[in-house]
A and B are shown apart, each in its own frame.
Chain A
Amino acid sequence: MRQRSLIAITAALAAGALTLTACGSRDDDGGSDGGNGGGGGTTVVIGVDAPLTGDLSALGLGIKNSVDLAAKTANKDNYVDGIKFETEALDDQGQPSVGQQNATKLVANDDVLGVVGPLNSSVGESMQKVFDTAKLVEVSPANTNPALTQGVDWQNKKVRPYKSYFRTATTDAIQGPFAAQYVYNDSKKRKVFVIDDKKTYGAGLAATFTEEFKKLGGQVVGTEHINPDTKDFNAVATKVKNSGADVVYYGGEYPQAGPLSKQIKAAGAKIPVVGGDGIYSADFIKLAGASGTGDLATSVGAPVEELPSAKEFVANYEAAGYKEAYEAYGGYSYDSAWAIIEAVKAVVEANDGKLPDDARAKVVDAMQNVSFDGVTGKVSFDEFGDATNKQLTVYAVENGAWKSVKSGTYTG
């Protein structure tokens, strides 16, 4: 009987506690706007620019959703007292001209104090000046072309072109050589056929790969540029087959890389296609088909499953119920948005809890000193606006999925 009473009392206490907890949850959410609201007060908008439609939308939507999650998390936790974060996402379709128009539009909205994006380096190039003139901070989770932060002559003399531009992704100055060393030292390939899509990202990455591969003793047996607007690469595939190459390096993105890989194998060249973070997408595997097994991609950062900090992000992303996957740049996008949130917090706290009149300029200054433990590890920026965390991973297509095969860290 005593045990039964004990159980009954325990059950009653548990029920009471649960009730109180539930009440507490409702109080926490009080005043929220569809889960995106916070403590009310001043609204700060985080702009997002990414390809939300078209071939690259898988990556773009992952960026958009991850920024949305960061804003919701900040609001839920009332992370910046008196500030409610909202997001405004614009579709650049992967086009520099559209990206520039979006930049102008975001600048015109006085509530926008920071922008996350874009995906493509060529789009980033077109937006930088617009944002810098308006002193509006931009944090790209995905741009990897070195010139964006270190100037066009980055190989000889690094000069930061824009103070308002930052990125959480590692640059191709590291990614290209990292891929070259894996292909030469680990895969033991000696003859490469290099193809790029003539865009800022693709051509730049192919160049940094080629330079290091040749220094290692490798031979470039052919080069080609493709038109990213087509999906017929049979002529290039035949050239690859006839070149005697034992590996193909492609500087570009997955919408072209997938069919290219498939057509190269169909032409009779059973050799791996290697690319950068632009092909590291589940869609590449779908497009390349079964013959894509053994293809390789480098991508920025460590594998998510190795990062304890990423587990919470992954769980929260799933719980939020987004339709699209967070893809290659989800963690970096969340960290980019959170860097803006941290900078806004620093500015508000330094101004007696209010946003100053010159908030945009102050946020740019604060961004330089931001430092926090993010989804992808420690987040902070060097004197060029580049991420100080420079991890890279090589992935291989195995059993219809990307599997990490080697990782590296730049500690220079």
Chain B
Amino acid sequence: MSGAGPVEPGEGTHAWDATDTPRPPGRPRGRLARCYDRHRRAVLGSAAAIAVLAGSGYPYAGRPRQPPPPQPPYPVQVVDLVYLDAVAGPGGAEPGDFSFAVLLSVRSGRPVTVTRLAQPYDGLAMASSPAAPIQTKSHSARKIIVTLRVTECERAPRNLRLPFLDVTLRNARAIQAHSFILGSRYARDLSEALHAACDQYSR
């Protein structure tokens, strides 16, 4: 296809075309071979075109590939959940409920959704405002009010050293269940609230 001349030999190119020398005996020619003989120019022309096209594509195929974009980090690695303080409960909270605020922040990466927010202890029930699912964008924070209610004083644990909040986090990479241990100030406030709720109940 470069225009530099015929790509296949023409008549008289081979010695046996020009002489009476008998052609060497060959294998019996089949249907495909006979078809090739009839359409030799077209077949060879097409083959040449394919070869040149493949050659043109070689630099493209051999170009340096862009590395795949790095995967976003796991949600646990970019989320902080810290205890702020005990707060007044939201509207709808009943006497005996106690509320506290936590701050959920996403340090980097894609948005993260809290699909579940729970406390793991017997004798307590929990609600949050806003309720899950709670979506938080990257480089931003959301305040969440968590309200606890004692359902069974005998079973509710008092004086825990390191109470948890359990969350399930989801981002573009994964869904992860994770415990946040909110520290001694949360432990103290939770313990005081439990004592207040249950002492009142027992009186």
Contacts and interface: CB of A to CB of B under 8 A. Distances in A.
A215 interface: yes
Given A7-B59, A412-B182, 12 more contacts: A2-B2, A177-B181, A178-B162, A181-B164, A215-B157, A217-B157, A390-B181, A406-B177, A408-B178, A410-B181, A410-B183, A411-B183
A302 B77 contact: yes
Contacts of A308: 70-71, 73, 77
24 contacts: A10-B59, A178-B179, A181-B164, A186-B120, A208-B161, A212-B161, A212-B162, A215-B157, A217-B155, A302-B76, A307-B77, A308-B71, A377-B77, A390-B181, A406-B179, A407-B179, A408-B179, A409-B81, A409-B179, A409-B180, A411-B80, A411-B81, A412-B83, A412-B187
A2 B73 CA distance: 46
Contacts of B70: 308
Q: Chain A: interface residue count, which band?
A: 20 to 34
Contacts of B73: 308
B4 to A, nearest CB: 8
B161 A409 contact: no
Contacts, number: 99
Contacts of A186: 120
Interface of A: 1-4, 6-7, 10, 173-174, 177-178, 181, 185-186, 208, 211-212, 215-217, 302, 306-308, 377, 390, 406-412
Nearest to B181: A410
Contact of B181 (A10, A211, A302, A409): A409
Contacts of A406: 177-179
A3 B58 contact: yes
B197 interface: no
B122 A217 contact: yes
Contacts of A216: 121, 157, 160
In the A-B complex, the 7 residue pairs with the closest CB atoms: A412-B183, A408-B179, A3-B55, A185-B120, A177-B162, A410-B181, A306-B74
Interface in B47-77: 52, 55-56, 58-59, 62, 70-71, 73-74, 76-77
A410 B183 CA distance: 7
Contact of A408 (B74, B155, B161, B180): B180
Instruction: Name which of A1, A302, A390, A411 has the most chain B CB atoms within 10 A of its CB.
Output: A411
Interface of B: 2, 4, 52, 55-56, 58-59, 62, 70-71, 73-74, 76-77, 80-83, 120-122, 155, 157-162, 164, 176-187
A178 B181 contact: yes
A307 B76 CA distance: 10
A177 B120 contact: no
A411 B182 contact: yes
Given A408-B180, A408-B181, A185 B76 contact: no
Contacts of B122: 217
Nearest to A6: B59
B161 to A, nearest CB: 5
Contacts of A173: 161
B83 A215 contact: no
A192 to B, nearest CB: 15
Instruction: Name which of A217, A377, A390 has the most chain B CB atoms within 10 A of its CB.
Output: A217
Instruction: Name which of B55, B77, B179 has the most chain A CB atoms within 10 A of its CB.
Output: B179
A278 to B, nearest CB: 20
A19 B121 CA distance: 65
Contacts of A178: 162, 179, 181
B163 to A, nearest CB: 8
A186 B185 CA distance: 24
Contacts of A211: 161
A408 B178 CA distance: 5
A410 B185 CA distance: 12
A217 B80 CA distance: 29
Given A185-B120, A411-B83, A4 B181 contact: no
A409 B178 contact: yes
Instruction: Name which of A306, A377, A412 has the most chain B CB atoms within 10 A of its CB.
Output: A412
A73 to B, nearest CB: 21
A390 to B, nearest CB: 8
Contacts of B161: 173, 177, 208, 211-212, 215
B76 A1 contact: no
Nearest to B75: A306
A174 B162 contact: yes
A390 B182 CA distance: 11
Contacts of A10: 59, 62
Contacts of A1: 2, 4
Contact of A411 (B58, B120, B158, B180): B180
A269 B162 CA distance: 30
Nearest to A2: B2
A177 B120 CA distance: 14
Contacts of B77: 302, 306-308, 377
Contacts of B157: 215-217
A214 to B, nearest CB: 10
A215 B177 contact: no
Nearest to A410: B181
Nearest to A182: B179
